[in-house]
Structure 1
Amino acid sequence: MKKTLLLLSLVAAPALAGEGKWTPQQVLELSPAWLRAQGLQLPPKKLWDPKRGTGLLAGTVNVGGCSGSFIAESGLVITNHHCAFGVIQEHSTPQRDLITQGFLASKREDELPGKGSRVQVPRSFTDVTKDVLASVPEGADDVARYKAIDRKEKELVAECEKRPATRCKVVSFDGGVNYTLVDAVELMDVRLVYAPPRGVGEYGGDEDNWMWPRHTGDFAILRAYTAPDGTSAPFSEKNIPYKAEFFFPLATQGVKPNDFVMVLGYPGVTFRALLAEEMAERQSRYYPAIRDVLGEAIRTLEAVGEKDAAGKIAVASQLKSLHNVHKNAGGQLAGLKRGNIVEKQREAEAAVAVWAQKGGAKWQPALEARAALLVEQSATAKSFDREFLLAVAPRLARGPAVATTVSRMAAERAKPDMERRPEYMEREHVRIKERLEREQKNIFLPAEKQLLLAFVRRAQSLPADARIAAVDKHFGKTFSEKDVAAKIDALYAGTKLLTQDERMKMAGESVGQLEARKDPLLAFGLDLAREQAELDEVKDRRQGASMRLRPEWRKAVLAHAGKPVAPDANGTLRVSFAKVQGYAPRDGAIYTPQTTLSGLLAKNTGKEPFDVPEKVSKVAEAKRFGAWQDTKLKDIPVNFLSDADTTGGNSGSPTVNGKGQLVGVNFDRVWENVANDFGYNPEVARNVNVDVRYILWMLDQVENADALLRELGVRKGAPVAGETR
């Protein structure tokens, strides 16, 4: 990537060691002396070779929206338990409940394939800013601007993906100051090797989620496979383990307080480049709406799931996800208030504006862009309630979600591929069909009906100028629980959408063919999909305006900073440099940076969410620590904190030491740090990691996974071919 305003000269060290999600290219611009002083023992070019466009950082992989890392040449990948939860759920039944019991493959033939599971290995990053910006016609309005950039991105991706087993995307930095083409190898055969019992992988449940102290073994081990010739291929018994060029050996010595670590991964999205008023909108409307709508859905799923063992498994994955987002929203609200983040952003913007005014004509476009962005934000806020409900709520019930997906897929298929919405292009069809197939494991009718009832109730309470026409058409304009419930019963009784074979047929049909089915749930989905498509057109215009305005303002912000500024997270490979350290969450309280097995046992109540599995508690109570005891703690370290700059998408990120060895697996942030998405606060910016010694203790003393330990290189002796235990 060429040096631009995005990549300011980084010869000086960042102002805050932990702040910044740095791109691989930016790492090469950082001062080597500063990195050595922090604790990096490798030459920076070992992390990323600009000539090859790869390096040790490429041992960090994308695992379906989470991060992960290779930990052996033989394709072993470590990530979070919650990131592998879909595969675990897929193979669970009331008779063989892998969610509760955990899983260890005794040999490679027993490893469990995950439908649609993929691992993406980064291959190159190319600056395509000039190409993208040159695609916008002179005098284009905002819709034309959006469509021109969207078209150019699709063309670049299509050219990139001419190579087999390649997954590419174009991402923007700082709202459009820079555009980068990301190229990755996609491995399509991914299998579950090990998952701890739920009482380890989810210990503490939602009560401990986002909290410290923590005692959760949130890790799982997968293996990526290829065809015998080393190329990516779908699942086959003939496939062989992927040979990883870059991987992170396990550091059996672990970490201690003040140690240098790096957290590598694919952070999803942060909001530090938003204007203060845009942040205020999220604080006043978006996160409260998330808490309200998702909170109701959680209560519904918990209530109906408890009445049926199979239903509990069916809703488990969705419930887990909803809990995480719901609690996150609460943390965002608390953090925004605690840190006065909106107010600080207003002050920062004002300082940039004063500086820009002194610059005269040079920065006048930036000031005008900021003013125009504020007008756009104000207009968007007026339609928030309807847009939020239309986008979020119907996706809580799987039936309407599937119905709208099939409907949108059919409508988009009628267009030339390059004119379709990106998420419905031909390249996405395999993924969509895999999701539609997997949905069969998530459907539980009692929950379905209650979630749809709640959505209809909310939609029918919208004002007259913000109605959802599809709801009015199929359920009426006023809410009567008895009448709506009866209509929902009829909807589900008359549909074939929830039958897997029929649903997969629908995925290949035209809008006319879908309409001809006269399927009531599908008919509702078709009408709902049309409104979603209309809303997308509105959002395209807004995005076009942002593409026109935000880069001008961001250029001024970056120039005013006069120091390195890492761009907001956008799902691309990043590195955060950090130290292992505790923090003071409030007056009179100081948290140490490590927790132990003894602390885990002290929390044990024998009931969820603090129910330690018997096979774990027996070994722990007997103090069978093996080789994994921390000599200073005289115990097994379970979790540790560092001040890394992380966010959603960093789940499963490898935490490595200065030698490039894995010392832990990131899985969370502390409650006080959730609003880190809007601004880094070094006092409370702490991420939570599973200590590698707890992982090794589980595999060794609890699971007796001898061959797996040998494969990981932490036990002498070569593993027996094809054996994982």
Structure 2
Amino acid sequence: MKKTLLLLSLVAAPALAGEGKWTPQQVLELDPAWLRAQGLQVSPKKLWDPQRGTGLLAGAVNVGGCTGAFISSTGLIITNHHCAYGLIQEHSSPERDLLTTGFLASERKDELPGKGARVQVPRSFTDVTAQVLAAVPEGADDAARYKAIERKQKELVAECEKRPATRCQVATFDGGVNYTLVDSVELLDTRLVYAPPRGVGEYGGEEDNWMWPRHTGDFAIVRAYTAPDGSSAPYSEKNIPHKAEFFFPLATEGVKPGDFVMVLGYPGRTYRALLAEEMAERQSRVYPRMRDVYGEAIRILEEEGEKDAAGKIAVASVLKGLHNGYKNAGGQLAGLKRGHIVEKQRQSEAEVAAWIAKKSASAQGAATWASAVKAREELLAAQQATAKVFEREFLLGAVQRLARAPAMAVTVSRLAAERAKPDMERRPDYMEREHARIKDRLEREQKNVHLPAEKRLLTAFVRRAQALGADERIATVDKHFGKAFVEKDVAAKVDALYAGTQVLTLAERLKMATETTAQLQARKDPMLAFGLDLARELEAMDEAVDRRQGMALRLRPSWRKAVLAHAGKPVAPDANSTLRVTFAKVQGYAPRDGAVYTPQTTLSGMMAKNTGEDPFDVPERVAKVAEAKRHGAWADRKLKDVPVNFLSDADTTGGNSGSPTVNGKGQLVGVNFDRVWENVANDFGYNPEVARNVNVDVRYVLWMLDQVENADVLLKELGVRKNSPVAAEIR
């Protein structure tokens, strides 16, 4: 009888261990017997206790677009090298190029503070759906609906953030089916402790990005600090290491094929709730345009960056982000085609529609589901209408990813316009709570400016804008550069913008961030004039987008409720940068006919790739230790080598960079940093055959710290002893 009940419970649970980015609340709704069968050895309540609003999941922290994980009670956080890139770049110069050489703080006093580097530790999640929906006035049009929902979200956040050192957000789930208030403690002082050299942290570069086999040590270690009384505080020499209640001990024995793992983190965006035709638009328009625009920007930055050492450092961070987006777009296109994802989504929608038709045979069923059918039809009609403005809106949105001066001019211009409004009426990105972040960003951007690249990027944007059709014109470009591209004329006007601007002067730029629109106009700064006009166009575009989002918030919940009801089982919502956990197994895959990939790579494999030239240039001090086979305590017994990376079938996406990969005991076995090429389109649908995420093996981290860096002080703090691995666990 017990066996029968267990089988029934497993059938009711999700069918695949890897599929699903589960919220902390959903973890408690999953069947405990199923979780134990997968390999979870701690109680689900250890993962998240809703009464306390915390748990082991709180050991995974938001580090600003990436994830990190506490690995000691003394505030040490492990994340990806590429997530700490800005902090490393901030302290790099041609004379002290930490991006290339790496960095190790021998003592705490040597740790390097980061401007604006913040850590958010989750504290609670509260369902506020009823409050948000009740805020929409009866009969509101789509624009008013959006504004009402946004206003309520801002009010809930403002109330939540009355407590000191608190950062809150209202997250939207399933297109507006549910709204959740996320409450986090924000730590303001984060310092760099260790970064491997570029030849480790970026080994393989863009050639290996999104690929397998992989041999990249994409990890870095930072530390969060607080005031002496334990409260959050900005950088001060008096601050002390943060006392982390939950952290992940290092599993020095690592993992082997078939092992259960969990990946915890803050996945950014997935698109599985989109309609098939919405997915098709991303396939036919969005990703091809990203490849086109980002590809040109990459070529410009690489060409200009290679001309001098300072320029190479300046463009490094922006270039890295563009490379990632460019290759991701290519992977999305390949995956959508290979997996027939749009076609499968059409079939799935047809099945839901047929289910609705069957349910609607009764009078009660017809009343329940009629709105779902109508909602889908209206969403499809709206999607077709937006195609007419796509090119213009894409280019307007892309301008802030390209040249830094126009982007910063737009920022200070929009900040001035929004500051003239009451705080609750401002756009969320420009509210008072964001001003410190904006200031930090405006300061950090100084490290990203390389004038020759700047001018070429702006010229490329102007050329594209001037090529738009008559109904898609960007008025600001027409006003400042004319309606037709004449290279000599545009180059002269670009030179004049940069010659006459103070936007690129840090002190003046920070003053601009405090001024009114009238004061900015009075400066007679040509780049500012361009930014002020561009900001007005962006504001008008945002208003149009708001109306479309208001329509989607009205319609999509009806359709999603039908989809969820049809599923008849737990369905993890699309990623939205909130805390999630995915359960997985360590395993390889077969990407194509005749090819089978094992799930682990090793030091020997890394050295076999070594050419001595970028991107496969192993740093000399690393190569010497590897060639001598000084493995220390970190060799895998079966592999007879130090594992570097491993695969699992976790359900991850962007934002999961830096996520802790932990075993069933709650010990850290690796750090997630990528997906395989065949899995990029996982954002649109989980395919168990190719859904693989890439992790740095914790034993490679420890090998670097022990055998290469001789970081005895840091290893001691982590509870690791040479030749005597600890096996701490959470009970």
TM-score category (smaller protein) = over 0.9
Q: 1:691 aligns with which of 689, 694, 697?
A: 697
Q: Indicate the SS of the match to 1:650.
A: coil
Q: 1:679 aligns with which of 674, 685, 688?
A: 685
Q: Distance in 2 between matches of 1:665 and 1:88?
A: 19
**Residue 502 (1) aligns with residue 508 (2):** yes
1:505-552 CA distances to partner (integer Å, 9 max, x unpaired)? 000000000001100000000000000000000001000000000000
Change in CA separation of 1:16 and 1:105 when aligned onto 2, cut-off 3 Å: same
Q: Indicate the SS of the match to 1:19.
A: coil
Q: Distance in 1 between matches of 2:169 and 2:574?
A: 17
Provide the residue aligned with 1:519 in structure 2: 525
* Contact 1:60-1:69 within 8 A present in 2 as well: yes
* Contact 1:417-1:426 within 8 A present in 2 as well: yes
**Residue 93 (1) aligns with residue 99 (2):** no
Provide the residue aligned with 1:576 in structure 2: 582
CA shift at 1:717, angstroms? 13
Q: 1:474 aligns with which of 476, 480, 501?
A: 480
Provide the residue aligned with 2:219 in structure 1: 219
| Partner amino acid, structure 1, of 2:691 | A
Provide the residue aligned with 1:667 in structure 2: 673
Q: Distance in 2 between matches of 1:255 and 1:106?
A: 30
Provide the residue aligned with 1:183 in structure 2: 183
Provide the residue aligned with 1:629 in structure 2: 635
CA shift at 1:423, angstroms? 0.3
**Residue 547 (1) aligns with residue 545 (2):** no
Change in CA separation of 1:659 and 1:150 when aligned onto 2, cut-off 3 Å: same
Q: Distance in 2 between matches of 1:475 and 1:699?
A: 54
Q: Distance in 2 between matches of 1:109 and 1:542?
A: 51
Q: Indicate the SS of the match to 1:627.
A: coil
Q: Distance in 1 between matches of 2:629 and 2:646?
A: 20
Q: Distance in 2 between matches of 1:566 and 1:124?
A: 19
| Partner amino acid, structure 2, of 1:407 | S
* Contact 1:11-1:30 within 8 A present in 2 as well: no
CA shift at 1:242, angstroms? 0.1
Q: Indicate the SS of the match to 1:626.
A: coil
Provide the residue aligned with 1:405 in structure 2: 411
Q: Indicate the SS of the match to 1:628.
A: coil
CA shift at 1:394, angstroms? 4.5
Q: 1:599 aligns with which of 605, 625, 636?
A: 605
**Residue 533 (1) aligns with residue 516 (2):** no
**Residue 654 (1) aligns with residue 672 (2):** no
CA shift at 1:395, angstroms? 3.3
**Residue 253 (1) aligns with residue 220 (2):** no
* Contact 1:10-1:29 within 8 A present in 2 as well: no
| Partner amino acid, structure 1, of 2:653 | T
TM-score (normalizing by structure 1): 0.97
**Residue 439 (1) aligns with residue 445 (2):** yes
* Contact 1:93-1:310 within 8 A present in 2 as well: yes
Q: Indicate the SS of the match to 2:497.
A: helix
Provide the residue aligned with 1:83 in structure 2: 83
Provide the residue aligned with 1:6 in structure 2: none
Q: Distance in 2 between matches of 1:98 and 1:369?
A: 54
Provide the residue aligned with 1:72 in structure 2: 72
Provide the residue aligned with 1:148 in structure 2: 148
CA shift at 1:119, angstroms? 0.4
Q: Indicate the SS of the match to 1:482.
A: helix
CA shift at 1:10, angstroms? 9.9
1:615-663 CA distances to partner (integer Å, 9 max, x unpaired)? 0000000000000010100000000000000000000000000000000
1:205-232 CA distances to partner (integer Å, 9 max, x unpaired)? 0000000000000000000000000000
Q: Distance in 2 between matches of 1:224 and 1:385?
A: 43
Provide the residue aligned with 1:25 in structure 2: 25
Q: Distance in 1 between matches of 2:10 and 2:495?
A: 62
Q: Indicate the SS of the match to 2:94.
A: coil
Q: Distance in 2 between matches of 1:191 and 1:504?
A: 24
Q: Distance in 1 between matches of 2:401 and 2:681?
A: 25
1:475-507 CA distances to partner (integer Å, 9 max, x unpaired)? 011101111000000100000110000000000
1:543-582 CA distances to partner (integer Å, 9 max, x unpaired)? 0000000000000000001111100000000000000000
TM-score (normalizing by structure 2): 0.96
Provide the residue aligned with 1:308 in structure 2: 308
1:339-397 CA distances to partner (integer Å, 9 max, x unpaired)? 00000000000110111112221211000000000011011111100000011134300
Q: Indicate the SS of the match to 1:180.
A: strand
Q: Distance in 1 between matches of 2:700 and 2:457?
A: 39
Q: Distance in 2 between matches of 1:23 and 1:183?
A: 14
CA shift at 1:53, angstroms? 1.4
Provide the residue aligned with 2:391 in structure 1: 385
1:104-163 CA distances to partner (integer Å, 9 max, x unpaired)? 001000000010000000000000000000000011100110000000000000000000
Structure 1 window deviating more from structure 2 (560-569 vs 232-241): it is 560-569
**Residue 335 (1) aligns with residue 335 (2):** yes
Q: Distance in 1 between matches of 2:270 and 2:723?
A: 45
Provide the residue aligned with 2:650 in structure 1: 644
1:49-107 CA distances to partner (integer Å, 9 max, x unpaired)? 12111101100000011001000000000000000000000000000000000000010
Q: Identity over aligned residues, as a percent?
A: 81
Q: Indicate the SS of the match to 1:392.
A: helix
CA shift at 1:12, angstroms? 2.4
* Contact 1:710-1:717 within 8 A present in 2 as well: no
Q: Distance in 2 between matches of 1:334 and 1:395?
A: 24
* Contact 1:12-1:30 within 8 A present in 2 as well: no
Runs (4+) off by over 4 Å: none
Q: Distance in 2 between matches of 1:45 and 1:466?
A: 54
| Partner amino acid, structure 1, of 2:491 | A
1:441-464 CA distances to partner (integer Å, 9 max, x unpaired)? 111100000000000000000011
Q: Distance in 1 between matches of 2:690 and 2:193?
A: 35
Provide the residue aligned with 2:44 in structure 1: 44
* Contact 1:270-1:647 within 8 A present in 2 as well: yes
Alpha-carbon RMSD: 1.1
Provide the residue aligned with 1:715 in structure 2: 721
Provide the residue aligned with 1:451 in structure 2: 457
| Partner amino acid, structure 2, of 1:690 | V
CA shift at 1:716, angstroms? 7.5
Q: Indicate the SS of the match to 1:383.
A: helix
Q: Indicate the SS of the match to 2:29.
A: coil
Size of the aligned set, in residue pairs, is 710
Provide the residue aligned with 2:125 in structure 1: 125
Provide the residue aligned with 1:489 in structure 2: 495
Q: How does 1:551-570 map to 2 (within 5 A)?
A: 551-570=557-576
Provide the residue aligned with 2:6 in structure 1: none
Q: Distance in 2 between matches of 1:616 and 1:309?
A: 24
Q: Distance in 1 between matches of 2:690 and 2:383?
A: 30
1:218-263 CA distances to partner (integer Å, 9 max, x unpaired)? 0000000000000000000000000000000000000000000000
Stretches of structure 2 that go unaligned for 5 or more consecutive residues are 1-8, 361-365, 725-731
* Contact 2:476-2:530 within 8 A present in 1 as well: yes
| Partner amino acid, structure 2, of 1:44 | P
* Contact 1:10-1:26 within 8 A present in 2 as well: no
Q: Distance in 1 between matches of 2:229 and 2:412?
A: 36
Q: Distance in 1 between matches of 2:410 and 2:713?
A: 47
**Residue 424 (1) aligns with residue 430 (2):** yes
Q: Distance in 1 between matches of 2:449 and 2:30?
A: 50
Structure 1 window deviating more from structure 2 (35-44 vs 218-227): it is 35-44
Q: Distance in 2 between matches of 1:659 and 1:56?
A: 11
| Partner amino acid, structure 1, of 2:522 | A
* Contact 1:594-1:638 within 8 A present in 2 as well: yes
| Partner amino acid, structure 1, of 2:332 | Q
Q: Distance in 2 between matches of 1:552 and 1:135?
A: 18
| Partner amino acid, structure 2, of 1:691 | D
Provide the residue aligned with 2:728 in structure 1: none
Q: Distance in 2 between matches of 1:169 and 1:317?
A: 27
| Partner amino acid, structure 1, of 2:587 | Q
